[in-house]
Chain A
Amino acid sequence: MDLWLSILAGTLVAGGSYLMMSGAMLRFLLGLVLISNAVNLVIFVTGRMTYAGAPFIDKAVGVLSADAANPVPQALILTAIVIGFGLFAFTLALALRAYSEMGTDDTDEMREAEPKTEEKPL
């Protein structure tokens, strides 16, 4: 299971990177979503992939038994998903605004902040 999830995470990162390098704003964002999901999977795997036992720590032993999944990473992913979702909503809105203001989706063509024609230095 861990191996399959690792391969899946790797595939997601590869696909995400490919999309991000296309230069189009929307593809960049979709790529980012893929990569952040890959990262979520990576965190998920760190807490053991099993549903055998309940994650209670026996006082006599003091550590989580080997057949239980650690719940902490799952809590981390929930936080990360929420944050990621919020940021994605913002960036989508920003992308839409950028497209309507500058009339292009290509980040290389967005030269409002750094104009191409530079004046001669002093």
Chain B
Amino acid sequence: MTLLLAPVVLPLATAAICVLLRKNRGFQRPINLLSCLALAYVGLLLLTLVEEQGVQSVQLSGWSAPFGISLVADRLAATMIMLTGIVASLVVVFGFSDLSFGEEKNGHPVFVQALLTGVCGAFLAGDIFNLYVWFEVMLIASFGLLVVGGLKPQIDGAVKYVGLNLIATTAMLAGIGLLFGATGTLNMADLHGKLLGNMSEPGVLAAASLLLFAFAAKSAMFPLYFWLPAAYHTPSHTTSILFAALLTKVGVYTLIRVFTLVFDVQHPLLQTLLVGSGVATLTLGIFGAMTETIARRVLAYLVMVSIGIMTLGIAVGTPAAIAGTTLYLMQTLIVTAALFMAVGCVAHLAKTENLPEMGGLWRSHPLMGALFVIIMLGVAGIPPTSGFWPKILLIEALADAQRWGLVLAVVIGSLATLYAVMRLFSAAFWQDVNTDETPNLDLFRFAPVLILTVLVVGFGLFAQGLVDTAKASSVNLMNPSVYVEQVLGGSK
């Protein structure tokens, strides 16, 4: 019970402490890092608990479901919390040298912890209005992170980001209102029972479309992606890594959660929307990644490619496809963080993010180059890295479902990703140098990249654990009865 509250309370308490300590970097830094490590540990404990005793739930203040607010942890949620903790710890370490003194003093650590609160809350929410509240927590923290540096491009990026995201949350709220009007409940487990067979009612379908709109905007799907390439390259690298690894993934996570538990994704209207949007996201992501000349904007479009691939998996919606998508979701958290962090290092070494101005790093920093190659393979999904397995599972599932067009889309997406990262690599490492002096890479920057690279390869070589978790969680997702019973169990 306390374990279920910990992923939310821990970062929130840390955020409060960080506010008090904001002028004292010596205290703030270790507390920030310790809290993130504790979060990873709590995620691990939660995962073992769920593995042993099945889905866990807690009814806050003893208000029994469906009236109170439930927090629920199943395999997927617990795994995501653990991975979030791991990535957050590494990002915090990276930030020790990447963040400017002003950013740290103006509350960067506070916003990071608030963001983690929202992210973990969204993973655990068993109540759809509660989910909305966690999204808002996440959103306001991300606004803070975007503008904390106070530079002109950051303000500009924030304007676009804030505008589009506020529209999305308003739509989400309207969807939730309609859903409550149609069913009289907000608890997702209860909604599952009440909506069985009622998917085609206009009110329900309207609510589903509004929620789809909201989650699609959060996860930067076509045609609601414009905020992503406009904003992701403007803040500090630390913030970019955190955003890329966590924010859009939370969108995909809630998409999986809500459209397996509450709504039926096999409804023709939703499926058509998801397939169309997935293919378009993938395609635009590819074109963007091939033509951009600013390193982090290339990455922003690559994030879109992976979002598109996951959308296709959700759209097909067979158990095998959901298994592939959940595995993709888990590994893309690590790989995206690794890629953004590696580019953060490269940009620091090259003192620019503009691809034509970079170069020569292969000679001066071969080790960094080697790590970059490995991460590059991970992003493109080439063995022995972790990116390989989810793509295999996903392609297999799409082929089983006879969706050959989508198989082709995923394969082309992977190849184009490889091309885009290779373009990045050759610009940064092989191009002729303009400046002969490059700064050294400090430990705070290098160590997290190294650890992430080890994880990328480790998950590829010892993939069985994650594959099993993904398959088991997809079985749970496709048969929500266990989840529903656990949440509603004692109440009726």
Contact = CB atoms under 8 A, between A and B. Distances in A.
Are A and B part of the same complex?
yes
Contact of B293 (A76, A95, A111, A121): A121
A58 interface: no
Contact of B166 (A72, A80, A87, A107): A87
A114 B112 CA distance: 25
Contacts of B184: 70
B233 interface: yes
B99 to A, nearest CB: 20
B180 A73 contact: yes
B140 to A, nearest CB: 7
Nearest to B232: A113
B159 A107 contact: yes
Contacts of B157: 112-113
Contacts of A101: 152, 155-156
Contacts of B158: 94, 98
Nearest to B67: A72
Interface string A79-122: 11001001100110011011001100001001111100011111
A95 B136 contact: no
A118 B229 CA distance: 14
A122 B355 contact: yes
B279 interface: no
A39 B155 contact: no
A45 interface: yes
B133 interface: yes
Contacts, number: 111
A69 interface: no
Given A35-B170, A45-B181, A87 B163 contact: no
Contacts of A42: 174, 177-178, 181
Interface string A41-67: 011011100000000000000000000
A91 B140 CA distance: 10
A94 B156 contact: no
Contacts of A111: 156
Contacts of B423: 122
A87 B153 contact: no
B160 A107 contact: yes
The CB with the most chain B CB atoms within 10 A, among A46, A70, A80, A113, is that of A113
Nearest to A80: B173
A25 interface: yes
Interface residues of B, number: 44
A112 B152 contact: yes
Nearest to A93: B147
Contact of A32 (B170, B233, B355): B170
B467 interface: no
Nearest to B175: A39
Contact of B156 (A32, A86, A113, A121): A113
A91 B166 contact: yes
Interface residues of A, number: 40
Given A119-B293, A119-B354, A95 B159 contact: yes
B143 interface: yes
Do most interface residues of chain A lie in helix, strand or loop, or is the interface mixed? helix
B454 to A, nearest CB: 31
Given A102-B152, A112-B152, A79 B133 contact: yes
Interface string B113-157: 000000000000000010001001001100100010000111111
Interface in B410-426: 423
Nearest to B150: A97
Given A79-B133, A112-B155, A119-B354, A91 B162 contact: yes
A39 B177 contact: yes
A118 B226 CA distance: 17
Contacts of A47: 180
A113 B174 contact: no
B167 interface: yes
Nearest to B185: A72
B272 interface: no
B177 A28 contact: no
Nearest to A86: B140
Contacts of B162: 90-91, 94
The CB with the most chain A CB atoms within 10 A, among B158, B186, B292, is that of B158
Interface in B218-240: 229-231, 233-234
Contacts of A46: 177-178, 180-181
Contacts of A120: 293
Contacts of A94: 143, 147, 155, 158-159, 162
A121 B287 CA distance: 12
B133 to A, nearest CB: 7
B240 to A, nearest CB: 13
B102 interface: no
Contact of B177 (A76, A90, A112): A76
Given A36-B173, A43-B180, A114-B230, 14 more contacts: A39-B173, A46-B181, A76-B177, A80-B173, A94-B155, A98-B155, A107-B159, A107-B163, A112-B152, A112-B153, A112-B155, A114-B156, A119-B356, A121-B292
Interface of B: 129, 133, 136, 139-140, 143, 147, 152-160, 162-163, 166-167, 170, 173-174, 176-178, 180-181, 184, 186, 229-231, 233-234, 290-293, 354-356, 423, 427
24 contacts: A20-B167, A32-B166, A32-B170, A36-B170, A42-B177, A43-B174, A43-B177, A45-B181, A46-B178, A76-B129, A79-B129, A90-B162, A91-B166, A94-B158, A94-B162, A95-B159, A97-B155, A110-B159, A110-B160, A112-B153, A112-B155, A114-B156, A119-B293, A119-B356
